[in-house]
Structure formats: structure tokens, C-alpha cells
A = this chain, B = another copy of it.
Amino acid sequence: ETVRAYQAAHGPAILRDFATLLAIPNVASDRTGIEANAEYIQAQMRAVGITTELWRIPGVSPAIYGALDSPGATRTLGIYVHYDGQPADPSNWTHGPWEPTLYNRAMPAGGQPIAMPEDGAVIDPEWRIYARSAGDDKAPLGALIPVMRALNEAGITPTANLRFFLEGEEEAGSNNLEAYLSSHRTELDEIDAWLFFDGPVHQSGRPQITFGVRGVTGMSLTTYGPRRPLHSGHYGNWAPVPGQLMADLLASMKNGDTGEVLVEGFYDTVEPLGEMERAALASAPDYDRELQYELALGGTEGSPASLAERLLLPSLTVRGLSSGNVGALARNVIPSTAEAALGIRLVKGNQPGHMMDLVEAHIRSQGYHIVYEEPSDDVLRAHPKVIRVSRDSGYPAARTEMDHPAVQPIIAAARRATDQEMVLLPAMGGSLPLYLFTDMLGKPALIVPVANHDNNQHAPDENLRVANLWYAMDLYATLLTAR
């Protein structure tokens, strides 16, 4: 209630502060932008009384560590947020990815840009703020700071000691997360349970807590045609066409109609679900029909299996394809190369390296000679089909048991923050480096999302619905003050 009053009184300032945070470019490879984010966020945390320090590994994004002890606290909660965002191709965005723009509705619903509100203005919770990381994953920071400020002003202290761990390269694969965590075991071993503030709520709009995540990895593939692009008339029917070779290869890996992955062994290491998880799945809301309508889908992969069921299997996704040019720039050539970006999601039991080995074995079975660097002309001459493979590192899936004693009070508190029925799911489809917390640090970890499901995370025109920012503040206030 204290936080709701604060929200009503200071809403415009909360939105403006959030926009200031969103305006700082945050792609992990952008060193300058990342440092600016770390500095700004650290200052915000200190202003609400959190002790902070930057943990550093040379040449990569720093992790922001924060601590706030409260008198009489009997447990310690770890809070994870990542402050980096996915890369963005500005040409596909309506506004610049780091030019936060407020809309009076979602763009597809006919929303129009409006000015940031002045103090005292009435805020419509259906407004949306558009910017990279608005949903994934600066929204929790945009809510946490004003929650702490409201509690401070009211003289309320959290009921748990708090530890903040803010990662700066989650979208780049969390390559140094293990190093950061293992070199700070002393501080982190104090933590009893982790809360991951990341991801969208259920598509139905209902609040959600998730006990696990899929793992993730990916591969880049390049097929080769002639060393230089050739005239498609003078050489078409004779020179190998890299786009055709790539199409043949991808088609041999998966059936796009049924969604079945045809790579041998792809489903062999999947661990079966427990009984409690099966029950939770069965009672999850069925929102698939509405989703299909919203996304204008005439069919789905694996139909009639539900989305929730399909997310408990590993997936292979063509996330990018490129060869020559299409549309107005299409030319009558046989291009030199074709590139595909494959995304692979993993479930409990799958190991990233093993899954990529299976894909490589499949590629070899299609007659390819695999190289891992740009092939020389002699290598190309020596083999009828050459492919360059580049492997992401990736990480495995993770799951916390739904009946773990340390998480029961958290679930109870979260339920009090909302009038709607909480959706509990064994695992979400997206990925987080949760296994380092559950398996390496050995602690229970829950994912507590706040973003609207249509936040366009990882895509152009990412956005946060203002009502979801208000929900985040309610939720965090309840979680931090639960007895």
C-alpha cells in the first residue's frame, strides 16, 4: 500500500527515470555503453541505501554486486537482473532502439507516440514505453529502485537481507558468469534462495512463477558456391548454388510442418518430468488458441501439442538466413556463400556440446566436409561440399523442485501481490544461466517475470506496458516485506 501510494504520487517521475535508464545503449560488446550503464545503475542503487561494488574481469562487462542488510532479517534473498540487451538493427525499428518513446497504446493496436508525462499528469496503465531492454531486462531495475525509495521514505525495512547480482552480458551468452560466481563464493553462499527478475508473464496476462529454464546454444553455418559471385545465366545449372545447398541441408535437419527435428539422437537425452511438474502443466491455462489468433498462425509446429508441452522438448530454429540479395536488390547471380544462424534450446538432460556434436554428425552424413575457419581455395577444391561451422558456447537447462521448502514462503508472498491466479510452470521456454545457481552454487532459484508477454523482447520495437511496471512494483514490495 505504501508503494501504491508512492506510485500514484510519483508515476511520471518513475517513467522518466526508467526512460533515462533505457536511453543508455547496452549491447554487451559495446564497452562504452556497458560502462555507462554500470555507472548509472550503481549510482541509483547507492541513492536508495544499497552498498555496491563492481566485480570486474578485464575486457568484459562488469557485474554489479549490491548488499542491503536489515535488522532482524532471518534469511537472505539473492536478486538477479541483467542490464545488457540484445543487439538491435536500427533499420527495423520505428524509433532508435535507445531512444525511449512513450505510446498511448501498443503500436499494433494503433498506438501513437506521446510526450513523457509532467509531474502530476494522470498515467494510463495501457501506455507502452518502446526501447531495447524495456522488457528484457531493465524493467526490474525500473521498478526496484522506486520500490526501495518508497520503503525508505516510509521507514519500512525489508524482511530479508538482500543481495543483488546484476549481470552485463546475459544476451551475449553469459560467458563469464561462472567465473564471476565462482570467484565470489563467500559472498554468494550467504544466499538462501535466488529470485530471477527476468522474462515475460504468461500470455494470458496472469502472473507467473517458473521453476526452471531451457538451456541454449547456437551454431552458424556457411555453405560455399563459386569463389566469386557468378552470372546466373552464364553459369546457372553448373556452378553449385550455396543457397540451394543450405536449403537442402536445413530441410534434412527438420520438418518445418511437423516441427520434428530429424537429427539422429536429438531427443534421446531428454529427462522425463516428475509427477508434480506434470500436474502443474495440466493445470496451466490453455491460451494457445488466443495466441494463434494474435500471431496470425494457421498452424503450429507439433500440433496438436500445446505450447507448454512443446517447451519441454529441445528445439532447433532457423533464426537467420542470408545469401545474395532479395527484393529490389536481387541480382542475377549465383552467390559465393549462404549463411544460416541456428538456435538450439535444451531441456533438462541435454548438454550443449553433445547436441552440437549430433548436428555436426548429421551435417557430415549429408556429405559435407566441416571446417571451423574460413576455408582456403585448396580446401574448397578438395571437397564437393564444404561447410563452415561456428559453435556458440551456450549452457544447459536447470530446474528447481516445486516442493523445495525455501521457495514456499516466496510463492505465498507473490500470490498476495495480485488478485489473479498465479501460473506455476516447471520450466519456461526461454533461457537463463540458471544452472550455475541451482547446480554450481546449489541453491533454489525461481523465475519471477514481470514484462508483458508481447514485449517484443529480442526483436525490433521492444516495449514495456506501464501496467506491468506497476505490477512489478507491487510484486517486489510484497516479496521484500513478506514475513
CA distance A340 to B233 in the complex (A): 18
Query: A329 to B239, Cβ gap below 8 A?
Result: no
A391 interfacial by beta-carbon distance below 8 Å: no
Query: B220 to A327, Cβ gap below 8 A?
Result: yes
Q: Which of A189-234 contact B (CB under 8 A)?
A: 199-200, 213-214, 216, 218, 220, 224-234
Q: Across the interface, name the chain B residue whose C-beta is closest to A453.
A: B234
Q: Which of A227-271 contact B (CB under 8 A)?
A: 227-241, 243-252, 254-257, 259
CA distance A329 to B228 in the complex (A): 24
Given contacts A321-B323, A343-B232, contact A247 B238 (CB under 8 A): no
Q: Which of A36-44, A374-382, A466-474 contacts B (4 or more CB under 8 A)?
A: A374-382
Given contacts A220-B327, A244-B256, A256-B248, contact A233 B297 (CB under 8 A): no
- Chain B residues contacting A184 (CB-CB under 8 Å) are none
Query: A250 to B243, Cβ gap below 8 A?
Result: yes
A152 interfacial by beta-carbon distance below 8 Å: no
A372 interfacial by beta-carbon distance below 8 Å: no
Query: B300 to A240, Cβ gap below 8 A?
Result: yes
A438 CB → nearest B CB, Å:
17
Query: A233 to B429, Cβ gap below 8 A?
Result: yes
- What 1/0 mask marks residues of chain A from 318 to 353 whose CB sits below 8 Å from any chain B CB? 111111111111111111001111010100000000
Q: Which of A408-452 contact B (CB under 8 A)?
A: 428-431
Query: A430 to B231, Cβ gap below 8 A?
Result: yes
A86 interfacial by beta-carbon distance below 8 Å: yes
One complex includes copies of this chain to the number of 2
Q: Across the interface, name the chain B residue whose C-beta is closest to A330.
A: B341
Given contacts A326-B341, A332-B216, A457-B231, contact A301 B239 (CB under 8 A): yes
Query: A381 to B296, Cβ gap below 8 A?
Result: yes
CA distance A454 to B378 in the complex (A): 20
- What 1/0 mask marks residues of chain A from 289 to 322 whose CB sits below 8 Å from any chain B CB? 0001111111111100101001101110111111
Q: Which of A87-101 contact B (CB under 8 A)?
A: 87, 89
Query: A233 to B307, Cβ gap below 8 A?
Result: no
CA distance A345 to B324 in the complex (A): 18
Interface residues, chain A, with chain B CB atoms under 8 Å away: 86-87, 89, 108, 199-200, 213-214, 216, 218, 220, 224-241, 243-252, 254-257, 259, 292-302, 305, 307, 310-311, 313-315, 317-335, 338-341, 343, 345, 367, 377-378, 380-386, 428-431, 454, 456-460
A-B contact pairs, 25 of them (CB 8 A): A86-B332, A200-B234, A224-B296, A228-B454, A229-B458, A231-B459, A232-B317, A232-B458, A233-B428, A236-B345, A237-B302, A237-B313, A238-B300, A239-B301, A240-B299, A240-B301, A244-B251, A244-B317, A247-B318, A296-B377, A319-B330, A319-B332, A320-B326, A321-B322, A322-B323
